[in-house]
Amino acid sequence: MDTAWIQVFVLTLSECVAPAGKTVCQEQELKMQFVEQAECQLALEQLVQLKEAAENVIVYKDKSQCAPSAKQQSVYKSLNDVNEKLGAAPDWMPPEVAEPPADFIEKSHQERLASLSPCEDVGGVAPCKIGEIIIEGATGQTVEVWRRDK
């Protein structure tokens, strides 16, 4: 496990809150971290609107902002390393590992390939397949087929 610093945006909302029936208020700051500046700005705007609607809250707009900062993070080499280090922690929640979406062209090729019969079975009548190669109808021209061995 290594340690790394990642960029975050810190939302600081400075406000003064008065308990019901009081004329003196308590100054406080709310701090939240965001990965993207746009999300931080949106949260700031929404919180200011929400707080201004309350009768007992004064928002100090000059002291409320989204500022870039950095956060120290633990960086693990692999998912196995994470499971080894954190697997016994009571609040450990393993990350979701999503498979990347299939390439559209590759998926279409595989679907078409699955729908065709091998050329040996249909006597070479196109369309058919030879291994992973799709043979389409003849155009009257000689076609050379090249195959790259992986």
CA dist., res. 39 & res. 41, Å (int): 5
Q: How many CB atoms lie within 10 A of CB 85?
A: 13
More confident: 44 or 25: 44
CA dist., res. 72 & res. 3, Å (int): 7
Condensed to tens digits (0 to 9), the pLDDT of residues 119-128 reads 889 887 888 8
Cβ-contact 48, 65 below 8 angstroms:
no
Condensed to tens digits (0 to 9), the pLDDT of residues 80-106 reads 888 888 877 778 777 777 777 767 788
The 10 Å CB-count burial string (b at 16+, else e) for 86-101 is eeeeeeeeeeeeeeee
pLDDT at 57: 87
